[in-house]
Amino acid sequence: MHQRFIISTTTHESETPPEDSPKSKWDVAVVAEKVDIDDRSVAASNFVSANASRTVTVRFDLPTNETLINGKVTTFGGLRAQFSRQKSVLIEATTLSVTEILYVIAAAVKEAVSQLRLVYVEPRGYRRRIEGRLCEHRDFDLSDNRLYRSIPMFRTDLNETSPGRAVFFLGYEGARLGQALEQEEILQRWKKHMVIGVPAFEPGWEIDTIANNIQYFDGQDSVQFTAASSVAGAYNLLCALRHQDKEDKPILVAPLGTKPHAIGAILFLLEFTAMEQAVFLYDHPDRTQGRTDKVRRWHFYDVVDSSSSAL
């Protein structure tokens, strides 16, 4: 089974980032507009900025469907221009939203960037909502204001899409899955796959994911597992499902779990969405300030486009 993207992973087991050689400076670093959400956001943004010749900020504004570069509204063409004739791009994936990463990778691949690396910093812990009752110890306070809606270049009306497979990458906030099934009732006609990060970042964390989402599982749902930190695992799982479907029905991907899983889902979307074989469903959450605590380890994902033609 041919797969367009080749993914390699390096993990740095330390609170502090690795020291890169001055000769290994990247051409462009991409960071979020707001980088002080938590400890790891600050650490990751500082690292990528220090290891690139030039840094740009990217923000996608959901209410207006506009992308901003360095605070100024631009087009997808304007985003592509940031990577024109650049050989290497370093993306700070910890703080950038899933939508922002989607656009940045799409633009970089369009410009045939040969070296593409994403940095994800893992936290030591996540903020929980503790209010005195034992049953609340699995409640997390990570995001607000979620609403599933399409975005430019990836618009989809599920009512006009033939039912296929819906793949939900799950995280700690079960309400996100519940809202998807309530807001898009037509998903009841899709074959659903629930993906849980196992092994989790830390032993036992997967229990929180299962406990907070299981109320929304149906007896016909398929439950699958891939490592929480694995971009390749998420991408390979989706590609395998795509290969298994001889009828070429669409695969809907909803990256509601770990950021590595979201990156894998993004690469799958970029490979298959133009052929209308992949559908993007996302709720665009606002991340809560101070949502995580400290830094545990660093993950680096290098992506190579094996295709000879641009997206």
Domain boundaries, the chain: 5-125+292-305, 134-287
Sign of CA dihedral 301, 307, 310, 311: negative
Find the mean pLDDT for residues 182-209.
94
Same fold, 5-125+292-305 and 134-287: yes
Residue 125 reports pLDDT greater than 70: yes
Mean pLDDT of the chain: 89
Write down the pTM of the prediction: 0.92
- Fold that domain 5-125+292-305 belongs to in CATH: Rossmann fold (3.40.50)
pLDDT at 22: 53
Q: What percent of the chain has pLDDT over 90?
A: 73
**CATH classification number, 134-287, choose in 3.40.50, 3.10.450, 3.40.1000, 3.30.300:** 3.40.50
Round to whole Å and give the CA distance between 211 and 217.
11
Query: How high is the pLDDT of residue 14?
Result: 93
DSSP-assigned letters across all residues of 18-45? P---GGG-BSEEEEES---SSHHHHHHH
Q: What are phi and psi of 195, to 5 degrees?
A: -110, 125
Label the pairing between strands 297-305 and 5-12.
antiparallel
